[in-house]
């Protein structure tokens, strides 16, 4: 097969993979999102002003050294996510480490700031651009990344809950939760094998040469690294855990810098509940609003009042989103230049 035929076949295969619907928002939605964001900012400022005296006093005496350490640790944590991302790809498909590092920050930033969960589409498009792959294959990679990160976060939240239970003398319940963590970790490591077999059987049952089979084959190709190289997948799972091993201390440093210390175990639980709340409650301001609610509810486990928990959650959310934006800035700038060049070529 010559180069022209291969290019035509590739283009046809890519066309069989449905592109996502346009993520553009109507003017009314943009205005509503802007007003909602402004309202959240006003409420956040009011919450700080009307917070208990000890909270506002702590914020006025923030410690820059702890804040700087937390920001640096957050940015370094995305390097571990870059390693995780490449380990989920076949060796021939892996991208430069620096690109993967910035991509990890960019996708996290888009998820935090784009309204109504449209950051998922932005992340999908970013991964497709970085890999140069079809929409279906990029969706498979994104799905695997999301499953791995979400499962790891759930296990970390359960580990934090077990830690708190042991610290408070509830050993029986703490042991039960710790056992759930171990079972969950085993299930996570076995997931690609079971999922790969199911997908392979599905591809064989679909009509040969049809659009659905082509899409399913693209998805299978995207998941092939986890299925064919279980060692790389296990290392990717370890890297996902290592990200939290850096991210949670970063949050602790930031909380210390803000003068609002919180127990690391409570941070683990709060991190899970905040992200879970933001995932099920779409907001015009990205994840801002639901995130703080979930964080405040979990921070109460450490004896922090709801108002203080909301203020702490808001501050941590802003700082970690800033860290993600700084990390992802090179990739986002590159994408902007690519889009402009593409627009000029089209014109």
Count of C-beta atoms within a 10 Å radius of residue 75: 18
Q: What is the pLDDT of residues 158-216, one digit of tens each?
A: 998 898 889 888 889 989 999 999 998 888 887 776 666 666 677 677 777 666 666 66
Distance CA 340, CA 225 (A): 33
Predicted local confidence at residue 13, as pLDDT: 44
Predicted local confidence at residue 2, as pLDDT: 44
Distance CA 268, CA 152 (A): 11
Taking the complete model, does pTM exceed 0.85, yes or no? no
Predicted local confidence at residue 23, as pLDDT: 43
Domain boundaries, the chain: 61-346
Buried b (16+ CB within 10 A) or exposed e, 287-311: bbbbbbbbbbbbbebbebeeebbbb
Distance CA 263, CA 309 (A): 13
DSSP H stretches of helix in the chain: 3-16, 27-49, 53-60, 64-87, 97-113, 119-131, 135-167, 171-205, 211-222, 224-228, 230-257, 264-280, 290-299, 306-346
Distance CA 241, CA 180 (A): 16
Predicted local confidence at residue 286, as pLDDT: 62
Those residues of the chain that have pLDDT short of 50 are 1-18, 21-24
- Are 76 and 243 in contact by the 8 Å Cβ rule? The answer is no
163 to 1, 60, 238, 249: CA distances (angstroms):
60, 32, 20, 16
């Amino acid at each position: 097969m010559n180069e022209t035929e291969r290019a035509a076949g590739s283009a046809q295969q890519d066309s069989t993979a449905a592109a996502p619907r346009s993520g553009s928002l109507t003017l009314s939605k943009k205005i509503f999102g802007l007003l909602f964001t402004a309202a959240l900012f006003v409420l956040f400022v009011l919450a700080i002003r009307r917070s208990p005296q000890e909270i506002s006093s702590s914020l006025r005496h923030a410690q820059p050294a702890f804040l700087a350490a937390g920001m640096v640790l957050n940015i370094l944590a995305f390097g571990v996510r870059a390693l995780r991302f490449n380990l989920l790809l076949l060796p021939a498909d892996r991208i430069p480490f620096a690109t993967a590092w910035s991509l990890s920050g960019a996708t996290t930033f888009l998820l935090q700031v784009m309204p109504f969960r449209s950051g998922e589409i932005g992340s999908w498009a970013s991964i497709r651009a970085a890999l140069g792959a079809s929409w279906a294959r990029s969706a498979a990679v994104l799905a695997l990344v999301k499953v791995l990160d979400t499962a790891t976060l759930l296990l970390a939240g359960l580990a934090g809950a077990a830690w708190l239970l042991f610290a408070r003398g509830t050993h029986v319940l703490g042991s039960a939760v710790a056992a759930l963590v171990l079972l969950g970790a085993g299930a996570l490591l076995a997931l690609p094998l079971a999922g790969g077999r199911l997908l392979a059987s599905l591809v064989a049952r679909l009509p040969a040469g049809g659009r659905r089979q082509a899409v399913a084959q693209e998805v299978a190709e995207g998941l092939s690294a986890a299925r064919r190289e279980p060692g790389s997948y296990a290392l990717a799972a370890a890297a996902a855990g290592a990200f939290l091993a850096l991210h949670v201390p970063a949050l602790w440093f930031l909380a210390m810098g803000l003068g609002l210390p919180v127990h690391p175990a409570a941070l683990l639980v709060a991190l899970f509940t905040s992200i879970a709340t933001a995932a099920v409650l779409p907001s015009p301001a990205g994840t801002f609003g639901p995130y703080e609610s979930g964080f405040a509810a979990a921070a109460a486990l450490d004896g922090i009042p709801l108002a203080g928990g909301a203020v702490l959650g808001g501050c941590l959310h802003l700082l970690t989103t800033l860290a993600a934006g700084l990390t992802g800035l090179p990739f986002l700038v590159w994408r902007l230049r690519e889009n402009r060049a593409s627009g000029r070529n089209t014109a």
